Structure 1
Amino acid sequence: MSSDLKKKLLDAQDKEADIAMLRAAIGRQSVTGDEHNFVNFLSETMADMKLAPCTGEFLPERPNVWSTGSGNADGPNIMFVGHTDTVHVRGWAENWKGTEREDPFAAPIIDGEIWGRGACDLKAGICAALGAKRLLDTAGIELEGNVSFAFIGDEESGEEGTGVSAGAKDLVTRIKSGEIAKPDFVIYVEPTKLDVYTAQIGFFIADVKITGKSAYFGTPHEGVDALKATHKILSAIWKHGEELTQGDSHAFLGTSDILVTGINGGGYIAVPGECNISLIRKLRPGEQLDEAVAAFEAAVHSVEAEEGIAVSISYPAGRDHSHGGSPVEISPDHPAALNLADCIKEICGDRGVIGGAPYWSETPFFVNEIGCPAIYCAPGDISVAHTFEERVNVDEYLAAIRAFALFIARYCGTKI
């Protein structure tokens, strides 16, 4: 039966239509804050598939789009989730000037790969999910369960005043209220090269401001050197980081750590009156954000403050937590995760490995806030996301459609 189903899916797949859908999706610019352009495309595509799409604004003129289901509402409900926004394209055209890659939204196919902003992060995942449902319909496979979709904005950071998971917060609010049916299992289509990630790191970003008093270099005794104080604080932070890397290790994601990402301070021929440090803290699954923040602040304040030095800390990247994003995991032996991994292995051979995401995205909203198991899985390589090299392999994308379709059929069950 399994072999017959795989052959039926392969024979029914319209590869040209699947490729055209992804190229058209990339062609709809959707840099964070401007998601509606891509949402309109998704609404049209979902309507053509008779998925009865709904839209709702999570912020003014910034909509989410979802379909409450296609199949039997009394059976298992799987939901595919992905973010509609991409990072910016500043510098892309200049980097590829004079080549067929110059337009970041043209989606050229070069050496078996589709190029463009959003190609892997994560329009290939969204299109693979929709393509899987379309493939099942084309093959005439009726489901005992239900397939739903939710495509949400504001996941990416980098644009001023955006990137706080406002779209995810709106979605879980609608699920909690009963407006959208709670799923039994969520596949969030971040790129994993078609491996199955049951765990992910957490994070917080901190901006530390060290303020002293500037003074002319000829009379330094009249100032308070913020740079000297910053040196001491940096030493304490790096010591804290060494302790983290020597601590407990997660099977998929290793140890926790802390990385200073920037420092700025000083003046012209004067005692530095102010310095600013930026850093990011990685949390392994099992750690709590409140405890991690408290330990970090204790390290900063462990430095004996010189008179006249003030230290303030801010956390600009709150997500599911006011200070950042929580780490999360489900059991690597979760039946649905293993089922999906097996389906991918049957279609792709060497993919479908259970692992962990070395990045943060939005599954904590599902696992922690509505108690729904969630994983990451989609075509594409996260290492080229956010770069001028963003692209996705065509064969991997097409295989993902068949693998997702096979999983949907097995998870939901099919009518004879």
Structure 2
Amino acid sequence: MTLASQLLAAQDVQADLALLRAAIGVESITGNESGFARFLHDTMKDLGLTADMAEFLPGRSNVWGRKPGAGAGQSLMFVGHTDTVHVRGWAEHWKGDARENPFAAMLMDGEIWGRGACDLKAGICAALAAYRLLGRLGIALNGDISFAFIGDEESGEPGTGVSAGARDMVQRVARGQIARPDFAVYVEPTKLNVYTAQIGFFIADIAVIGKSAYFGTPEDGVDALRATYAILGAIWAHGAELAAGPQHPLLGASNILVTALNGGGYIAVPGECSLSLIRKLCPSEGLDDAVAAFEAAVHSAPLEPGISLKISYPAGRDHRFGGSPIEIDPRHPAAQLLAGSVAEAGGTGGAIGGAPYWSETPFLVNEIGCPAVYCAPGDISVAHTFEERVKLDDYLAAIRAFALFMMRYCGTENSNPTGEPQ
């Protein structure tokens, strides 16, 4: 019997489903992560892990757990964020439907619905359930296995979403409070593909300031809306240059997208306008250089005297301007091993790819020198929406895939270095 077959035969589907449903049932909207952190702390203790919690900001906690290896082997960490986006409008959208409660974790047509189901409690629970599955088979890992679950990843709630939890976690690794792993899997949804690269980003808010004047005497004003039109043209020209530039093999071209525009509103020369945009970066680009090129493009717009600009960057993450792009070699042995484990476990993923989103692996790769990938069940396209859900079969396959990967990466007693029985 193959390892994958043994895992399938030993898997307790009802227990795995119950774990995910219980996790979704603990509300953990950004800023209110500590209840879910306590849930995970207790779960890890029940699994025989040494578990710890600590506040990364007052009233907001990270949680981590570890099991030392039984012999010489590589150390592996699973990482995920505990917070979810808000549920405003969810109950109204599903009024009278079985999915009305966003925390009920309704199972319908083979899918588990609810806030956090996809992003990313299925990934967290799959990692913990995988470790539990190894225990059911009496398998001890040679290398250390650890888990770190951190808050403040999601944006959207005032004063939050700046990766304060990730920053605290890597600082504890640097101080030796949390053991540094040899490799990490961050459980953002990937449809069980293995993402070795991710985009970077910055958000810019531009205030265009002119001078208002009565519509009958426009010569007394300085038209901020006209200036904004010129600035938009310069931004779109810059975007066209980016689109025509180098193509990353996993992430495509860089781009820039204007996301909001406000101005005018009175029967007068518009004295102020504002716009917001987001810039996608590929791993070959640095944030400082990208911001400098963007500002040069903005300032190249032909503006009449009397116009002033204020540019701010409100979404600093691992960098003051935003989030850094990152990649590891797609041929990295651990990434390939994980992809093979997914394929063997019966998952529908297993391809090497790139993340069209930003999350927190730059903290792992850049701050503590730990190569990391994204891999988990779920489709990012339904995250943050009223359609958030995860396929039960994919969640169960992820558990088996992660268990296979743990065995093969960390090694087991009486196994060769790939985790296969001798």
How far 1:74 sits from its partner (Å)? 4.7
How far, CA to CA, are the matches of 2:118 and 2:265 in structure 1? 43
Aligned to 2:268, the other structure's residue is in SS state coil
CA distance in 1, matches of 2:243, 2:71: 47
Deviation digits for residues 260-310 of structure 1, max 9, x if unmatched?
Answer: 001001131011010001000000111111000000000001123321111
After superposition, give the CA deviation of every residue in 1:182-219 in whole Å (9 maximum; x if it has no partner). Answer: 11000000000000000000000000000001111112
DSSP-derived class of the 1:122 partner: helix
Structure 1 gaps of 5+ residues are none
Q: What is the CA deviation profile of residues 93-129 of structure 1, one whole-angstrom value per residue up to 9, with x for unaligned ones?
A: 0000000000000001000000000001000000000
Displacement of 1:4 in angstroms is 3.1
Instruction: Output one character per residue of 1:134-182: Cα deviation in whole Å (capped at 9) or x when no partner.
Output: 0001110011111100000000000010000000000000001111111
Q: Equivalent residue for 2:329? A: 331
C-alpha separation in 1, matches of 2:68 and 2:398:
20
Alpha-carbon distance between aligned partners in 1 of 2:68 and 2:99, rounded to the nearest angstrom: 37
Task: Kindly state the Cα deviation for residue 68 of structure 1 after the two structures are TM-superposed.
Answer: 3.2
Q: Does 1:118 align with 2:113?
A: no
Distance in 2 between the 1:70 and 1:116 partners? 34
Q: Counterparts of 1:210 and 1:4 in 2: how far apart (Å)?
A: 65
Find the residue that maps to 1:174 and give its secondary structure.
Answer: helix
Of stretches 215-224 and 357-366 in structure 1, the one that deviates more from structure 2 is 215-224
Secondary structure of the 1:275 match is strand
Q: Secondary structure of 2:50's match?
A: coil
Q: Is the 8 A contact 1:132 1:405 kept in 2?
A: yes
Conserved? CA contact 2:215–2:268, under 8 Å: yes
Equivalent residue, structure 2, for 1:262? 260
- Partners of 2:19 and 2:109 in 1: CA distance: 19
1:56 aligned to 45, 51, 54, which one? 54
Residue matched to 1:297: 295
Asked whether the equivalents of residues 263 and 278 of structure 1 are also in contact (C-alpha less than 8 Å), the reply is yes
For residues 395 and 349 of structure 1, do their structure 2 counterparts lie closer, same or farther at Cα, with a shift above 3 Å needed?
Answer: closer
* TM superposition outliers: structure 1 runs of 4+ over 4 Å: none
In structure 2, what is the Cα distance between the partners aligned to 1:70 and 1:120?
Answer: 30
Partner residue, 1:251: 249
Counterpart pick for 1:21 among 19, 37, 51: 19
Describe the shift of the 1:349–1:382 C-alpha distance in structure 2 as closer, same or farther (beyond 3 A).
closer
Matched residues in 2 for 1:267 and 1:20: separation? Answer: 54
* Root mean square deviation, CA, Å: 1.0
SS in 2 for 1:379: coil
* 1:222 aligns to 2:220 (yes or no): yes
Where in structure 2 are the equivalents of 1:178-257 lying within 5 Å? 178-257=176-255
Q: Which residue of 1 aligns with 2:270?
A: 272
Return the alpha-carbon distance in structure 2 between the equivalents of residues 209 and 177 of structure 1.
41
Shift of 1:350: 4.2
Matches within 5 A, 1:168-187: 168-187=166-185
- Match of 1:408, SS? helix
Q: Which residue of 1 aligns with 2:311?
A: 313
Q: CA deviation at 1:70?
A: 4.2
Provide the secondary structure at the position in 2 that maps to 1:169. Answer: helix
Asked if structure 1 preserves the Cα contact closer than 8 Å seen for 2:191 and 2:348, the reply is no
Mapped to 2, the partners of 1:27 and 1:70 lie a distance apart of 30
Distance 1:83 1:198 in 2: 18
In the alignment, structure 2 segments of 5+ residues that lack a partner are 415-422
Aligned to 2:419: none
Does structure 1 conserve the Cα–Cα contact (< 8 Å) formed by 2:347 and 2:398? no
Checking the alignment, whether the CA contact within 8 Å between 1:69 and 1:149 is kept in structure 2 is: no
Matched-pair contact (CA < 8 Å) for 1:101–1:115:
yes
Three-state SS of the structure 2 residue aligned to 1:343 is helix
- Which residue number in structure 2 is paired with residue 142 of structure 1? 140
What is the DSSP-based 3-state SS (H/G/I as helix, E as strand, rest coil) of the residue aligned with 2:399?
A: helix
Q: 1:61 to 1:82 in 2, by over 3 A?
A: same
Aligned residue type for 1:180: I
Aligned-partner Cα distance in 1 for 2:348–2:35 = 36
Query: CA, structure 1 residues 392+350, in 2 after alignment: closer, same or farther (shift >3 Å)?
Result: closer
| Partner residue in 2 for 1:69 | 67
- TM-superposed CA distance for 1:72, in Å, is 3.5
Supply the distance in 2 between the matched residues of 1:350 and 1:139 (Cα, whole angstroms): 24
- Which residue of structure 2 lines up, in the alignment, with residue 128 of structure 1? 126
- Work out the CA distance in 1 between the residues paired with 2:144 and 2:50: 14
Paired residue secondary structure (2:339): helix
Distance across 1 between alignment mates of 2:363 and 2:179: 15
- Between stretches 275-284 and 46-55, larger displacement belongs to 46-55
| Identity percentage of aligned residues | 69
Partner of 2:420: none
Partner of 1:102: 100
Distance, in Å, in 1 between the alignment partners of 2:77 and 2:292 is: 36
Q: 1: CA distance between counterparts of 2:271 and 2:66?
A: 56
Given that 1:185 and 1:373 are in contact with CA atoms closer than 8 Å, whether structure 2 keeps it comes out as: yes
Deviations along 1:344-368, one digit per CA (max 9) or x if unpaired, are 1111264200000000000000111
Provide the secondary structure at the position in 1 that maps to 2:5: helix
Q: Return the TM-score normalized by structure 1.
A: 0.98
1:372 to 2:370 alignment: yes
**2:41 match:** 43
Paired residues of 2:37 and 2:82 also in contact (CA < 8 A): yes
8 Å CA contact 2:348–2:394 kept in 1: the answer is no
Do 1:25 and 1:123's aligned partners in 2 also have CA atoms closer than 8 Å? Answer: yes
TM-score (norm 2): 0.97
Report the alpha carbon displacement of residue 5 of structure 1 after superposing the two structures with TM. Answer: 2.0
Asked if 1 retains the 8 angstrom alpha-carbon contact of 2:197 and 2:355, the reply is yes
